[in-house]
Amino acid sequence: MTQQTIGKRFKRILLTGAAGGLGKVLRERIKPWADVIRLSDISDMGPAQAGEEIVQCDLADKASVLKLLEGVDAVLHFGGISVEQPFEPIMQANILGMNNLYEAAYKSGVNRIVYASSNHAVGYYPNTTLVDANMPMRPDGFYGLSKCFGELLSRYYFDRFGLETVCLRIGSSFPEPRNPRMMVTYLSYDDLVELVRCSLFTPRVDHTIAFGVSDNRALWVDNRHASHLGYRPKDSSETFADRFPATSDRPEKNDPATIYQGGPFTITGPMFE
């Protein structure tokens, strides 16, 4: 079933993090899915276009978030800090902000949230291990820890209140891979949009964890527990294989950045300063 055959199911979708890299991609692609797209970020998002509402909002501000969710049917939650930073800013944006969002979503009657989690929630698995959604979390930093909190919080809101969530453990979503690791974690923009569409339009998702990767030759993750979403990636990092010969991806002994799936997140950040 294609996006065109589905038509608009929602009156208003909220996209948080609309000024971010992936937020900008989604902003241009999700307009056919709802009558109105409400865009939110702490940063400037430019002027509203047809069918858009612009609401600048700090997710750590509980009252503002409650107002932000008024009249919203579904949420694409891509807001927050997306890199490793000290705990305090991550706590405000990714932990307190996540809590505020879910409380407001529940009070506003939202039925579905698509949450941009991260592969860094399981970044301390060796890259020789095939990881699935039922395996224990192994975060590789404060950022990964915040994504684990988000996944657990969304699970709680489903178990207690029935608020459905798809947690997307996104790998590396850029126009093209930037290094050998991204040959495994690469998620094209087209596949990102398709994964979000499947997560939003699948009739029942309960609480689902899906890995956001394209159809790459090498994989560290197993998406069988998200098969009900019907996500079928069309792209592959193999298009860029000539840029990163296989010999350049050999793990170095005792180097966490090449041994573990989290890559450089395992050796950078405030804990190592």
Per-residue pLDDT of the chain in tens (273 residues, 90 and over written 9): 344 445 568 999 999 999 999 999 999 999 999 999 999 999 999 999 999 999 999 999 999 999 999 999 999 999 999 999 999 999 999 999 999 999 999 999 999 999 999 999 999 999 999 999 999 999 999 999 999 999 999 999 999 999 999 999 999 999 999 999 999 999 999 999 999 999 999 999 999 999 999 999 999 999 999 999 999 999 999 999 999 876 545 556 678 889 999 999 998 876 655
Using CA atoms, how far residue 93 sits from 16, 80, 89, 90, 153, in Å, is: 12, 5, 6, 5, 15
What pLDDT does residue 5 have?
41
Q: What is the per-residue pLDDT for 246?
A: 66
What does the pLDDT read at residue 245?
A: 76
Domain that holds residue 122: 3-272
CA 185, 14, 11, 111 dihedral sign is positive
Mind giving me the DSSP string for 216-251?
-SS-SEE-GGGGGG-------GGGGGGGS-GGGGPP
* Domain CATH code at residue 95: 3.40.50.720
Residue 30, pLDDT score? 97
Do 190 and 235 meet the contact criterion of CB atoms below 8 Å apart?
A: yes
Residue 50: Cβ-neighbour burial (10 angstroms; 0-12, 13-18, 19+): exposed
At residue 254, the pLDDT reads 77
Q: How far apart are CA 14 and CA 27, in angstroms?
A: 10
pLDDT of residue 89: 95
> Residue 185, Cβ neighbours under 10 Å: how many?
28
What pLDDT is recorded for position 3?
42
How do 52-56 and 112-118 pair as beta strands? unpaired
> What per-residue confidence (pLDDT) applies to 117?
98
Task: Determine the pLDDT at residue 268.
Answer: 83
User: Looking at the 3D structure of the chain, how many domains does it have?
Assistant: 1
pTM above 0.85, yes or no: yes
Can you tell me the distance from the alpha carbon of 75 to that of 114, in angstroms, rounded to the nearest whole number? 6
d(CA 240, CA 87): 35
Query: Could you list the active site residues?
Result: 143
What is the per-residue pLDDT for 244? 85
Q: Give the H/E segment covering residue 100.
A: helix 97-108
Task: Tell me what pLDDT residue 247 has.
Answer: 52
Q: What was the pLDDT predicted at 236?
A: 98
Measured between alpha carbons, how far is 242 from 264 in angstroms, rounded to an integer? 23
**From CA 273, how far away is CA 257, in angstroms rounded?**
16
Tokens of 210: 């899906």
